[in-house]
Structure formats: C-alpha cells, structure tokens
Amino acid sequence: MNKTSMILDVDTGVDDAYAVLFAALHPAINLLGITCVDGNTHVDQVVANTLKVLDAAQAGDIPVARGATRPLLGPSQYAEYVHGADGMGDLGIAPSTRQVDPRSAIELLRDLIEGSKDLVTLVPIAPLTNIAIFLRAFPETAKKIHRIVLMGGSTSAGNATPVAEFNVWHDPEAAAIVFSSGVPITMYGLDVFMRPGISSQEASVLKSSSEPSAQFAGQLIEAFIERLHISPLTLGDYGAVVAAIYPELFTTQMFDVVVDTSSGPARGQTICDRRDDFLKDLEPLGLENPAKVRVVMDLDVEAVRQLWLKTIDKGWS
C-alpha cells in the first residue's frame, strides 16, 4: 500500500487521541506533523495532551505546533462537559517531557507542505481556525494540498446545537473559508461519527495488552465509558483519518454545502442540499455560492473498528 503523507489538525480531546494514535502507528500513513487549535479545551492544553498521546504511541519525532488560541470572531466555547477540564478526562496522565515545536501552526503547515516530496492530505479533526488562517496566509502553498478530509459538519442533526456540529459551530467563519477554498473536501460528519465504537469489554482487553498504545487507549475508553455512561464509546475523529486512507470502506455523496455564519439559531450549520435532482430542477433556488463537498454517508463499521484495534494493538485477535 502506498504511504499517504498526512498532517493532522487537532483539539485533543479524547477522540482526537484515538485518531492521533492510529495516524502515528499505521504503516500506510506518513504523519508529517500535528497542529493544535483551541477547541475542546485551551490550545496549550491541546498541545500538552497531543504530546502525551504521541508518547503513548512511542512516536516522539513527530513535530507538534501551537495554533490559534480562539476562534476568528467568537469566544472560545470548550467542550468540558464531554472531554473534562483537561480535555482528556482529567485522568492525571503524566505530562510529556517533549517540547512543542518553536514554529506556529501555520508556519509548520507551510514548511511541511513545501518540504514534502509528494502531495499532502490535511486531516482537520477540530475547529478549522488554523486551516482558515493558513489558507489566507500562504495561498501559494495551499495550492499544494492534495485534499482535506475533515471531521465536521452534518447533513442532519447537530450535537453542539440542534443543527450544528461542534467543530463547525466553534468557528463557523473559519469553516466557511475552508469549505469555499476550492481545495477538494471530504466531510466526515455526524451522519457517521457515532457509529464505529469500542465496548467496555474490548477496552478491558486493550488495557491488558503489552503495548503502551493499547494500554493508553484502553484506559481512556474505559474512563470515558464511565464518564459518559455510554458503551460502545465512539472512536469519533478517528473515522476521518481512516477515511483518508481506506476510501473503499466508506460510501460518499457529493452535495452542495454552505456554512451558516449568521447569528441566528442555525449558526454553524453545514447546510447540505440533499433534494432530489428533479426537485432542484423544478425549484432552482439553490444555495448561494455552495461548495461541492464529498460527504461520508455510510461505512463498513466492523472493518473500520478492526483496523483501529489491530493498529493500536498489534496482538489484537
């Protein structure tokens, strides 16, 4: 299998951790670097959490850079109710001894993309503030991005609000800039986000593994099953990473999409025109200046689950 050169943009966060572990460990991914953004928790905490996760993957040489401290316009709105005050379930996980990269997130993005011998796949699994700023600051480098496979949005219900998904809702203006950038976008949103999950029994097996990555993941999953009282627990953001390298496991559809940046009740909604073509012909009033987005609408859940388990724990059977 060819390697995919990839950069993650994260707000680590428990499900970001599952994605980072997979991207750092899977042999088909050349993880060039990780940029951190304000989202689930403050960006400095995101950096600290991301370094801890890379330590668990024994992937210490991957650069991690600090990005935006808040959304482009609005205030920070953390998701402590899900991820805890520290973004990782307040488990008291030991801090990493590694240092954050001295470059800012957008400088690291520029340098990694310019320095890559092949086209880079960008996988943002957080609010899109860093990516929007990068696209505006380095438009020539942005042209070298192969594609963006992002976790965000929804063609149906929201989670942060009745209609808006958290990553887009946290910074709708940034999302609008990214969606309308012209870079090919695959949207891994709430239509599939909750489906690949890990049970408490599987978490227990991971915890007893000899592999640090499996022990770390098992501990996180078990803690969040207890915290959120749900099992199986979704692997969340991880789905966007695996969709970038195993597209055959996912069913997608192209939709016209615009991001609602109003201040009304739909703020942060990814409005997708899902009308049948005959209706769109009859009622030509469509969305104004929509982005043509490839939206993930279904997946092979068991294959996606097993890929994660066997990557995080090589002895998994």
Which positions are annotated as active-site residues?
11
- What φ, ψ does residue 66 adopt, rounded to 5°? -90, 135
CA proximity to 127, closest of 82, 89, 165, 180: 165
Task: Please report, as residue ranges, which positions from 220 to 259 form the binding site for Ca ion (by CB under 5 A).
Answer: 237
* Look-up of token digits 């997708």: 272
Report the nearest approach of ligand RIB to the CB of residue 5 (Å): 22
Cβ 212 vs Cβ 56: under 8 Å = yes
* Look-up of token digits 């935006």: 68
Size of site (CB under 6 A) for ligand RIB: 16
Contacting residues for 274 by C-beta, under 8 A, at least 6 apart: 155, 255
Of the pair 15, 260, the CB lying nearest ligand RIB is at: 15
Q: By CB under 6 A, is residue 50 in contact with ligand RIB? A: no
Report the nearest approach of Ca ion to the CB of residue 285 (Å): 34
List the Cα angle 194/199/205 in 5-degree steps: 140
Q: By CB under 5 A, is residue 125 in contact with Ca ion? A: yes
Of the pair 33, 268, the CB lying nearest ligand RIB is at: 268
Cβ atoms within 10 Å, residue 227: 17
User: Measured at CB, which residue is nearest to ligand RIB?
Assistant: 166
Q: By CB under 6 A, is residue 269 in contact with ligand RIB? A: no
CA proximity to 11, closest of 56, 89, 81, 66: 66
Report the nearest approach of Ca ion to the CB of residue 13 (Å): 4
Cβ 287 vs Cβ 275: under 8 Å = no
Q: By CB under 5 A, is residue 16 in contact with Ca ion? A: yes
Q: By CB under 6 A, is residue 200 in contact with ligand RIB? A: no
33, 67, 236, 239: which one binds ligand RIB (CB under 6 A): 236
Count helices and strands in the chain by DSSP H and E runs: 13, 11
Task: Please report, as residue ranges, which positions from 155 to 194 form the binding site for ligand RIB (by CB under 6 A).
Answer: 159, 165-167
5, 7, 8, 16: which one binds ligand RIB (CB under 6 A): 16
**Which listed option, ligand RIB, Ca ion, none, makes contact with residue 86 (CB within 5 to 8 Å by class)?**
none
Q: By CB under 6 A, is residue 15 in contact with ligand RIB? A: yes
Contacting residues for 57 by C-beta, under 8 A, at least 6 apart: 20, 21, 24, 25, 212, 213
Q: By CB under 6 A, is residue 38 in contact with ligand RIB? A: no
Cβ atoms within 10 Å, residue 232: 18
The residue ranges that bind Ca ion (CB under 5 A) are 11, 13, 16, 125-126, 237
Binding site for ligand RIB (CB under 6 A): 11, 13, 15-16, 39-40, 79, 125-126, 151, 159, 165-167, 236-237
